[in-house]
Structure 1
């Protein structure tokens, strides 16, 4: 909450109570002397402010935090009754007494106090009800803002975890492969090193935003697939198709990576069998279609603690729910030792 917003709120509150005091004074002076009307207006405004401030700034936030609204309703009724009694006293001794001689016995004054009490109930209810309504609206808005900020922080933490997950998994294997290639094929080692540097550059300099251009994310996926293909060599058949029409589309960074990494991680590794991975990624009219298919075996899946998909896939599911709640459709299925992922995603056309 900014200082300017707080200042505007204080100004609005001051103007509200000032206007209420002026209206009460104008109303009272019709039937009462001006100085008595002024005293009544000031006392009513000050007492109303004190009671409503206690109700809305102390009791209501506490009830919302502790989720005890039934208790707050009882407290609100008590505050309204107490304020009405206070109004009745003002009405009796500053409005009635100057005009009519009140009985000396308090029991004989009770009818005047009772009249002032039930006449004050509607005003007390309206003042406190309006104040509670405004405060509840503000508190609800604050809770919503805090929830959004918490979701954003959660997403940022997940993205950082994802980046940290990718780096150790890829870096060790690729650097080791480059080390071997430098002794046998320096040209291929140089090519692989350049692709790997592009991967790291994207992760370091382009993934700190909420959204990144789709073409940058696609280039990153291409480099990742190319590096994995070179690392696996003839042990794996990889068929990847990447197509997109517009360069104005944006996507959450590293959102598609777990699907690609899972395909390479859980592809069939049985002796005497050549695994395969098929990847289709297309964009049309700001709608992204991703299809990933790979062969797998029950044996390595049983050894995996996380199963097919692992932690990365669980994280990306959460990210999709938070960042694209009504704009995605994810289907994951297995069929005859084939693992399939189909994702349809409505993309943003602006980097918000």
Structure 2
């Protein structure tokens, strides 16, 4: 069943109503039968009274409560409820009197007449007990169902927003890659065909793997390595980039496209000089955590601006949605080196 189908489910199915009334009938039958030591009388009186219990209970929880009580029409609610109790008492007492026993209140001392104040009060209090019990069950089930529905709606919203953020990031990445390809074609570079092949690998990864909630860290690193290879083609021989791996990454799963915005950011804001174009990327697994670190040189002599953009905005939003407060994201600018460290939990 899909999410919307789950949310739209009924609160209490018929079988639970049936089970409740059967149990309640049997409890009353045994209770009053043992009290009077007369199970025949208890059976007859309960057979008369139970249809009336059921009628007033459903009248209360499906009509009076939603129509008046939940709309804060308290005076109207209690007025109609008192009227319903009066009708209930009259019908119940009359049926018991003519069909079961002339002694309409056998548990009381002496023979009691119908429609006496004490008998009316006793019957109405007993009926209010039934109404309160069933209303409490109804409200409890509605509360639990509403809480479940809200949780499912939040989950649905979370999944929708997460897909939206990933969809935003993918065109952003392809836009950058196509710019690289365009620059190479303008130069008439022979490496343009290699760029096309690399780009096809990217598309395959995005179409098939990036749709998953998790991918292997090995694949994600291969993806980043392909991106770096493309950037090397564009920047030439002066550019240096290294990927370091510490610890066992064979069985590590991570959300797809999680680290690429940080790699893109390093290229975007790194210094473009002949002597110093150096980026280092490190992956380390330790104590059920994945520590990702990326360093690039940043021109401190230029106007200070915190590296960022749509990729980083989306990344931080994804991290919040995926990990809550279980991740760490830090960035530091020390002299002319910009260092970003991302720590996420892994299984």
| Equivalent in the alignment of 1:290 | 292
Alpha-carbon distance in structure 1 between the residues aligned to 2:229 and 2:147: 50
Equivalent in 175, 185, 203 of residue 181 of structure 2:
175
Equivalent in 256, 270, 275 of residue 267 of structure 1:
270
TM-score normalised to the size of structure 1?
A: 0.76
Q: Is contact 2:238-2:274 (8 Å) kept?
A: no
Equivalent in 141, 144, 150 of residue 148 of structure 2:
141
Equivalent in 224, 247, 263 of residue 221 of structure 1:
224
Q: How big is the shift at 1:222?
A: 0.8
Is the aligned partner of 1:38 residue 2:47? Answer: yes
Alpha-carbon distance in structure 2 between the residues aligned to 1:229 and 1:80: 81
Alpha-carbon distance in structure 1 between the residues aligned to 2:87 and 2:284: 72
Change (3 A) 1:282 1:199: farther
- Alignment gaps of 5+ in structure 1: none
Equivalent in 252, 259, 280 of residue 256 of structure 1:
259
Is the aligned partner of 1:158 residue 2:165? Answer: yes
Alpha-carbon distance in structure 1 between the residues aligned to 2:221 and 2:64: 56
Alpha-carbon distance in structure 1 between the residues aligned to 2:314 and 2:67: 39
| Equivalent in the alignment of 2:235 | 232
Change (3 A) 1:146 1:10: farther
TM-score normalised to the size of structure 2?
A: 0.77
Equivalent positions of 1:196-211 (< 5 A) are 196-211=199-214
Equivalent positions of 1:312-323 (< 5 A) are 312-323=311-322
SS at match of 1:253: coil
Q: How big is the shift at 1:343?
A: 0.9
Residues 259-284 of structure 1 show CA distances to partners (whole Å, capped at 9, x for unaligned) of: 11111112234x77744322212335
Residues 182-201 of structure 1 show CA distances to partners (whole Å, capped at 9, x for unaligned) of: x34x3x44443333322222
SS at match of 1:208: coil
Residues 46-78 of structure 1 show CA distances to partners (whole Å, capped at 9, x for unaligned) of: 32133234478x579x97xxxx9xx59x79x95
Change (3 A) 1:59 1:215: farther
Alpha-carbon distance in structure 2 between the residues aligned to 1:207 and 1:114: 69
Equivalent in 279, 282, 306 of residue 280 of structure 1:
282
Equivalent positions of 1:15-54 (< 5 A) are 15-24=19-28, 30=39, 32=41, 34-54=43-63
Q: Is contact 1:258-1:312 (8 Å) kept?
A: yes
Residues 72-95 of structure 1 show CA distances to partners (whole Å, capped at 9, x for unaligned) of: 9x79x9599657666655665445
Q: Number of matched residues?
A: 325
Change (3 A) 1:204 1:229: same
RMSD of Structure 2 on Structure 1 (CA)? 3.8
Q: Is contact 1:212-1:252 (8 Å) kept?
A: yes
Bigger mean CA deviation after superposition, 85-94 or 259-268: 85-94
Q: Is contact 1:268-1:297 (8 Å) kept?
A: yes
Higher helix share: 1
Alpha-carbon distance in structure 2 between the residues aligned to 1:208 and 1:260: 20
Alpha-carbon distance in structure 2 between the residues aligned to 1:251 and 1:80: 61
Equivalent in 115, 120, 123 of residue 122 of structure 2:
115
